[in-house]
């Protein structure tokens, strides 16, 4: 797993993908931090994180679109899945490499926290809740994107598919509300990333929300392993 992790983390920075992702994330975060925190003099980070919550859905595919699709396009996937490495090790190595780059993007928020704290008080619990919630959302999208990537050799299709999955989890509660209060509405609300993010946004650590995101991560990692397992024995 460690060898896969090192290879993939290196690939993000010998190609422009890692730099482009970080540049986009930092640029958007900096723009809203300057406009809302510095220019308006606010110590409330809620607006910034709400923007990042939506933006992550559209830029996370930059990290995941090449994870397996590039291997498949270059015909190196067979060598990878037949190597003396467990499929779990392959999947987790790639997943943790992607997650590392995502965490690097999130660290910019702690720089902003330090700047604001020099000029006034900050609700630290709320800030950390936003950070944890955004991390879990991003980690879930990375797992989903990895699964989509293993299904196709086209990076464009992998990116579009991952955006589609993200939009599904973002808007499904709105669809549920249109159905009128019933069991299906409750199911839609339960599957909504936004509904589970709300407690984090208020600084509350709800174990049920953490378990939900961890379940999404494990589910998509499991599906990716199953696809590779089927490919190995086919």
Per-residue pLDDT of 88-139, as tens digits, reads 888 999 999 999 999 999 999 999 888 888 876 778 888 899 999 999 999 9
Tokens at residue 202, please? 């208020």
Residues 6+ apart with CB under 8 A from 53: 133, 134, 137, 194, 197
pLDDT value, residue 215 = 95
Instruction: Band the pLDDT of 142: cuts 50, 70, 90.
Output: very high
What's the rounded Cα separation, in Å, for the pair 158 and 147?
9
Q: Is 55 helix (H, G, I), strand (E, B) or coil?
A: helix
pLDDT digits (tens, 9 = 90+) for 188-232: 888 888 888 888 888 888 899 999 999 999 999 999 999 888 877
Compute φ and ψ for 180, nearest 5 degrees.
Answer: 80, 150
**Interatomic CA distance for residues 46 and 50, integer angstroms:** 6
The reported pLDDT for the residue numbered 210 is 94
pTM, to two decimals? 0.90
The tokens for 139 are: 């980690």
Report for 28-32, 77-81, 127-131, 214-218: range of highest mean pLDDT: 214-218
Residues in CB range of 214: below 8 A, 6 or more apart: 136
């Amino acid at each position: 797993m460690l060898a896969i992790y090192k290879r993939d983390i290196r690939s993000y920075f010998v190609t422009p993908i890692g730099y482009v992702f970080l540049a986009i994330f930092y640029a958007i975060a900096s723009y809203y931090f300057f406009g809302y925190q510095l220019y308006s003099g606010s110590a409330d980070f809620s607006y910034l994180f709400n923007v990042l919550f939506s933006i992550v859905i559209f830029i996370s595919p930059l990290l995941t679109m090449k994870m397996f699709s590039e291997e498949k396009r270059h015909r190196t996937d067979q060598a990878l899945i037949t190597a003396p490495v467990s499929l779990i090790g392959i999947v987790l190595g790639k997943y943790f490499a992607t997650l590392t780059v995502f965490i690097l993007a999130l660290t910019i928020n702690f720089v902003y926290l330090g700047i604001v704290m020099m000029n006034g008080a900050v609700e630290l619990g709320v800030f950390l809740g936003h950070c944890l919630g955004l991390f879990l959302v991003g980690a879930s999208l990375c797992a989903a994107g990895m699964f989509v990537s293993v299904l196709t050799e086209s990076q464009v299709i992998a990116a579009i598919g991952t955006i589609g999955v993200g939009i599904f989890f973002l808007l499904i509660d709105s669809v549920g509300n249109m159905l009128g209060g019933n069991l299906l509405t409750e199911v839609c609300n339960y599957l909504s990333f936004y509904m589970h993010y709300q407690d984090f946004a208020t600084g509350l650590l709800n174990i049920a929300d953490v378990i939900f995101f961890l379940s999404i991560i494990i589910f998509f990692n499991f599906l990716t392993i199953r696809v590779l397992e089927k490919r190995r024995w086919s």
